A and B are shown apart, each in its own frame.
Chain A
């Protein structure tokens, strides 16, 4: 099955408007492979019939399912050594020092996917900075995909997922075997506030300010204008002495010159002093 040209154009527009995700011509195979299961599950004869229904309403549960299916959720525990190393060695010690009077820290993981990134950070904080147990730590993790947020809240991972990147001592300490899967402790699950948030949307005013923001491996899907507006919004919610991490292959360079690289290898940025 291949998607019809007019359906592809409609889906590309829909994904751009709904999630700012760019679907370039040539990505028809992605639509086929991602949406064929959604179509058959929802009882449509094919992608064409699904698109026909989507044309009628782009604010339906079906529309949410399409967004879920079309976003790439690839992630893993402790993905890339450099950012975690930099968090452990420099960023968290500096923030703990800077906030020693308030004893409060606010962290935002802005594209949480299935939760491995926020959980990795939380485990690292418990292991390396136990003093934070007495602090007021606010940890927000968001994603546009409701399906992903459900996975985050459940905190349940397959053997394959825990085999990737998660050190064995952390597996046995923080996870419990549930049938063939592993579930992370309830105390860690409830230490994070999980919320739906569209980075390309307008809900930014509802956000508090943050000391540390993870915006990793999600900007790659957006066009330049969306990247600019997201980074401008990030500057507003990031405290002046806060830190922003992008994916290791991503940069603010030529997108937002108000950010300056703090450590290149880990894609860590800070806002330039005015």
Chain B
């Protein structure tokens, strides 16, 4: 199983990578939407993409829209990483094509629960 983690915060990237690796995922990360799109072109298709909302150059919303506009990635599971105060963004992210959200601060169990909702077996 492969995961793509898109976040401009090195801390979040590290934490998510560690959790996902612990669940058996091979993890690729990117610092913004633009880099994530580049990684999608060259890496194997991820089974799950986790994406932050506020990022320089290309934010989460723009990234999701770009991904969904491309038939290759139309049904690739995407999870928004968000905070309690940003819940309105989840509504917009879902409208743009995200499948789920993960709320900060998260635990490995919370990530597992969301994987179960998305019907993604662990790696």
Contact A168 B101 (CB under 8 A): yes
Identify the stretch in B1-9, B16-24, B43-51, B92-100 within 8 Å (CB) of chain A at 4 or more residues. Answer: B92-100
A167 and B87 contact, CB distance less than 8 A: no
CB of A164 within 8 Å of the partner chain: yes
**Beta-carbon contact of B113 and A168 below 8 Å:** no
Q: Is A169 an interface residue (CB 8 A)?
A: yes
Indicate if the CB atoms of A81 and B103 lie closer than 8 Å.
no
* Cβ contact of A165, chosen from B88, B90, B113, cutoff 8 A: B113
- Chain A residues, CB < 8 A from B40: none
User: Shortest beta-carbon distance, B79 to chain A, in Å?
Assistant: 9
A6 nearest CB across to chain B (Å): 41
> With an 8 A cutoff between CB atoms, is B42 at the interface?
no
Per the 8 Å Cβ criterion, residues 94-123 of B in contact with A are 94, 98-101, 103, 110, 113, 116-117
With A81-B116, A167-B100 given, is the CB distance from A177 to B94 under 8 Å? no
Chain B residues within an 8 Å CB radius of A177: 87-88
> Do residues A168 and B110 form an inter-chain contact, with CB atoms below 8 A?
no
Within 8 A of A (CB), among B57-116: 84, 87-88, 90-91, 94, 98-101, 103, 110, 113, 116
> Interface readout for A79-107 with B: 1 if CB under 8 Å, 0 if not?
00100000000000000000000000000
In the complex, which residues 2-35 of chain A have their Cβ closer than 8 Å to any Cβ of chain B? none
Quick one: which of A78, A159, A165, A180 contacts B103, CB cutoff 8 A? Answer: A159
Q: Are B84 and A172 in contact (CB under 8 A)?
A: no
B117 touches A167 (CB 8 A): yes
* Chain A, 152-174, CB within 8 A of any chain B CB: 159, 163-165, 167-169, 171-172
Complex contacts, B99 vs chain A, CB 8 Å: 168-169
- Tell whether, in the assembled complex, residue B103 and residue A163 are in contact, meaning their CB atoms are under 8 Å apart: yes
Nearest B-chain residue to A81, judged by Cβ: B116
Set of chain B residues within 8 Å of A78, measured between Cβ atoms: 117
Q: Across the interface, which residues of A come within 8 angstroms of B110, CB to CB?
A: 163
A159 to B86, CA, bound (A): 12
113-134 of chain A: CB within 8 A of chain B: none
Known: A81-B116, A163-B110. A168 touches B90 (CB 8 A): yes
**Chain B residue at smallest Cβ distance from A167:** B117
The 3 closest A-B pairs by CB, nearest first: A168-B100, A172-B91, A168-B101
* 8 residue pairs A–B, Cβ–Cβ below 8 Å: A81-B116, A159-B87, A164-B113, A167-B117, A168-B90, A168-B101, A169-B99, A177-B88
Other A-B pairs beyond A168-B94, A168-B101, A172-B91, 15, CB < 8 Å: A78-B117, A159-B84, A159-B87, A163-B110, A164-B113, A165-B113, A167-B100, A168-B99, A168-B100, A169-B94, A169-B99, A171-B90, A172-B94, A177-B87, A180-B84
